[in-house]
Amino acid sequence: MTRRERQNLGTGLLFISPWLIGFLALCVYPALSSLYYSLCDYSVLAPAVFTGAQNYRDLMNDALFWKALYNTLYFAFFSIPLGLLVSLSLAVLLNFDVPGRGFFRVVFFLPSLVPMVCLAVIWQWMLNGDLGLINNALKPVLHALNSIVGTHFSPPNWLLEARYAKWGIIFTGLWSVGNAVVIYLAGLQEVPRHLYESAEIDGANFWSKTRHITLPILSPVIYFNTIMGLIGSLQVFAVPYIMTNGNDGPGRSLLFLATYLYQNAFDYWNMGYACTLGVILFFVILVLTYLARKLSEKHVYYAAK
Amino acid sequence: MTAGRQSKALRIVAFTLLIIFGIAFLAPFAWMVSTSLKPLNETMSLPPRWIPSVVQWHNYRDAINAMGYFWRYTANTFFICVMSVIGTVLSSALAAYGFSRIEWKGRDRLFLVLLATMMIPFPVVMVPIYSLFKNLGWIGTFRPLWVPAFFASAFNVFLLRQFFLSLPKDISESARMDGCSELQIFLRIILPLSKPALLVVALFQFMFSWNDFLGPLIFLTEQKDFTLALGLQSFQSQNGGTAWHHLMAASTLVVLPVLVLFFFAQRTFIEGIATTGGKN
């Protein structure tokens, strides 16, 4: 290493030192101690006692853990594709040459700025069984359906019925897809126009242009957003926690991994077990991200640069 | 630019759908504001009415009084937001400079490590961080909520690095020829050129701190120290299912500053978010 290189290394490290210290103290150290505590009986109030794999064995026999895992995967499985569908559709609509595009863009973006607590409070009210706006809009629709088909549908009491509670959370999430809409719209506007023009000469219609030009070019952005959505939805906590007034919903239908982790850590002071859940949560994220990556290798198109 | 030539029929369909979705997306806001201005009995009228028979502005005053520490919550939240913004802008800009404008061995490999840390969710490291702050005696103070911002966030470093890389190398080279130190180049040349990117980072951090719920929930202990987000949640869990008009008034008051901020900095927001997804 020359003198110049050594000097640069020193200066470089000095500049990144705020991050480096934070990385060691607030990331590496907590991650490693989480791993260690996951093998301990630990309550913060008393020193940790090493118990080997006991927490992991307990976890395997813990019905609540399996319930939380199921709920979390269920939520991710429906909310990610639905979020993708809604945000992509809105972005495609915004990309049409129609009046008021700027206005609509703001309208779709605004809900994503709403703080999580307000989001939960507003939607708790929206989804209220008798008085909520959602059910009052559904009632005439279901009534018409019932009188035509002869069925007996009535709108559910979303957050108070175990079967529907998670759907209440999923709908709440769909309201705040605005971030993704803005990202997709930016991606759409970078699609080179000549591609569409040559496709039009070949007689392509809107759907075939979307299918063969827009989606392939947008696929890296879709992939990025899906990974972000995956990481986010697997840690879902605040909205269901607030909507249930700090609980986990009817029949624990809103007990998610992060909820169960929080309960163990701060309701039961069972910190070791909470760390075990954290380690599992991390591995769930890792495995699913890896699968998404494998899947993307076939379908994501990167333009040669 | 739009997606090529579009038939008139298709554009009419698109416009109609935009209006329908637009109404659906605005409805919750309208419903919140409408409820916040109603007398209590009208929040329970069926079918629901959009326009209150009397507009009760005093619901807002009542909600503020019922929350108890509303102004304290506001001051606490502003304090945490401002400190976090200062901290993250300074530290993330320094780190981003080190990751982009100086060449050193192992730099790009370490940057990959930084990107990887974005994958680690907060709940996973929450317990050890909690016990760390507990050992420092910081539980029940604001420090756990703003001190970490002084150690740069991976996401903000990533954003600023992208911007710093887009500035030509020559400007640094000629400054070095003139005998400027790296710190001088950073402070006098790079930072002034990067105002738009720094603004994006400041805005995102402000929003994050304003919205944060889990952090205040675990680190704050005294009611009077709560942030607005936590204060609203505690108000809701005491009143849930009854005083909807007060709850919606309180919730409007917490959303409003964010919306006002958005209308002042609309371009920064939209462009900032568009770059986070586009450059990957």
Asked if residue A116 belongs to a domain, the reply is yes
Q: How far apart are CA A98 and CA A30, in angstroms?
A: 51
* Each residue's pLDDT tens digit, B83-98: 999 999 999 999 999 9
Residue A251 lies in a domain: yes
Q: Nearest chain A Cα to B100, which residue?
A: A12
Q: Do A209 and B211 touch (CB under 8 A)?
A: no
Nearest by CB: A117 against B105, B130, B232: B232
Shortest CA distance from A234: residue in chain B: B121
Determine the Cα–Cα distance for residues B276 and A198; give it in Å rounded to an integer.
31
Q: Is residue A38 in a domain? A: no
Quick check: is A137 in a domain?
A: yes
Q: Residues 145 to 174 of A: which have CB under 8 A from any B CB?
A: none
Q: What is the nearest CA distance from A173 to chain B, expressed in angstroms?
A: 12
Q: What span, in angstroms and rounded, lies between the C-alpha atoms of A112 and A177?
A: 6
3-state SS string over chain A? CCHHHHHHHHHHHHHHHHHHHHHHHHHHHHHHHHHHHCCEECCCCCCCEECCCHHHHHHHCCHHHHHHHHHHHHHHHHHHHHHHHHHHHHHHHHCCCCCCHHHHHHHHHHHHHCCHHHHHHHHHHHCCCCCCHHHHHHHHHHHHHHHHHCCCCCCCCHHHCHHHHHHHHHHHHHHCCHHHHHHHHHHHHCCCHHHHHHHHHCCCCHHHHHHHHHHHHHHHHHHHHHHHHHHHHHCCCHHHHHHCCCCCCHHHCCCCHHHHHHHHHHHCCCHHHHHHHHHHHHHHHHHHHHHHHHHHHHHCCCCCC
What angle, rounded to 10 degrees, do the helices at A63-94 and B8-36 form?
Answer: 130
Low-confidence ranges of chain B (pLDDT < 50): 1, 278-280
The C-alpha atoms of residue A119 and residue A112 are separated, in whole angstroms, by 9
pLDDT digits (tens, 9 = 90+) for A263-287: 999 999 999 999 999 999 999 999 9
Write the burial class of residue A234 (CB in 10 Å: 0-12 exposed, 13-18 middle, 19+ buried): buried
Q: How far is A261 from chain B (nearest CA, A)?
A: 8
Residue A221 lies in a domain: yes
Range of the domain at A279: 64-299
ipTM over 0.95: no
Q: For chain A, positions 285-304, list CB contacts with chain B under 8 A.
A: 285-286, 289
Contact assessment for residue B56 and residue B245, using Cβ atoms and an 8 Å cutoff? yes
**A295 within some domain:** yes
Q: Domain containing A145 — which CATH number? A: 1.10.3720.10
Q: Residue A55 domain-assigned?
A: no
Tokens in use for B194?
């990067």
| Sequential pLDDT tens for chain A (305 residues) | 788 888 899 999 999 999 999 999 999 999 999 999 999 999 877 888 999 899 999 999 999 999 999 999 999 999 999 999 999 999 999 998 899 999 999 999 999 999 999 999 999 999 988 888 998 888 888 888 888 888 888 888 888 899 999 999 999 999 999 989 999 998 888 888 888 888 888 888 888 888 888 888 888 889 888 998 999 999 999 999 999 988 899 999 999 999 999 999 999 999 999 999 999 999 999 999 999 888 888 777 776 54
Q: For residue A85, how many other CB atoms are within 10 A of its CB?
A: 12
Question: Which amino acid, one-letter code, is at B43?
Answer: T
What's the domain count of chain A?
A: 1
Joined tokens for residue B123? 């709940």
Write out pLDDT tens, residues B235-277. 998 876 678 999 999 999 999 999 999 988 888 888 888 776 5
User: Contact A116/B125, CB-based, under 8 Å?
Assistant: no
